Amino acid sequence: MTNTQTNTSDEPNDRVFSRVGLVAKTGQGSIGDEIAHITGWLDKRGVEVLLDETAGELAGEGIQTSDRVDLPAQVDLLIALGGDGTLLSVARFAAEAGTPVLGINYGNLGFLTLTPREEIYEVLEQVFAGQFTSSSRMMLRASIERADGSVVTWDVLNDAVVNKTSLARIIEYEVAVDDEFVSRYRADGLIVATPTGSTAYSLSAGGPLIMPEMDAVVVCPISPHSLANRSLVLPADAQIEVKLITSDQDIVLTLDGQEGATFDQREVARIERCPHRFELLSAGERAHFEVLRTKLGWGDERQ
């Protein structure tokens, strides 16, 4: 089920953002001046600002800071300055807190950080005037059931990926959906992605593009040994179970490219719908297919 709200200039959103958090890309010193300018812009409008520790280091002293994990629960709006990786680093915490995120693109591709840095203040004006679009995205919950019966879980916005920790032989594993055996694969790995993540690693591995506000799950083998093994698009409520057959390699489950955990053939990885949803804000007229044409270099042959 799609859960999307769109606001136009004739229908302003009446949400109030009185406390804003800023997170910044690590190692991006040039963002420091921008953080100071944004903080000043917000302060003039009576908005309280709280920075994550990285942004705080870049901006200097005199501004409140908080750990990145705790920051989303303390603010009404989170602004991510960086690339998609910066936004992904706070996505699960923002979703859990119910805090919307606005991404400012200081990276390269930027499917989630839609606002170019040159348009920061134009977009902020629109957002604080209620002229923005709110997009609700499904997330996944990935877990590993350990050999001792314990379970560890993570929430992801893009994908959970089974892959090798180093160059080695291909992985052999089997996949079941809702307890029904699907197939045994010999491949470099496996990607389980959300529609939001369909433009990330899954796309590079030959997976389908899915409209980001749909609720569905992509199961995409990475370079499968058999050409008959293709990507699957499953209902959002499907539970995917992955069991390793390979026993002599280091295999890791990577979560949104942010962290990972090793597991072996004695353990089971499960991926299913997360109870939380992620809210992404944007402003300006950027249709989804315009973003795809721009980011992926699609041609525009209209006469």
Q: Which residues does the annotation mark as catalytic?
A: 84
Distance, CA of 233 to CA of 78 (rounded, Å): 31
Distance, CA of 240 to CA of 233 (rounded, Å): 12
Q: Encode 2-31 in three state secondary structure.
A: CCEEECCCCCCCCCCCCEEEEEECCCCCCH
Distance, CA of 85 to CA of 91 (rounded, Å): 10
Distance, CA of 121 to CA of 127 (rounded, Å): 10
Integer CA distances (angstroms), 283 to 21, 83, 133, 213, 255, in order: 18, 17, 6, 16, 28
Contacts of 287 (CB under 8 A, 6+ apart): none
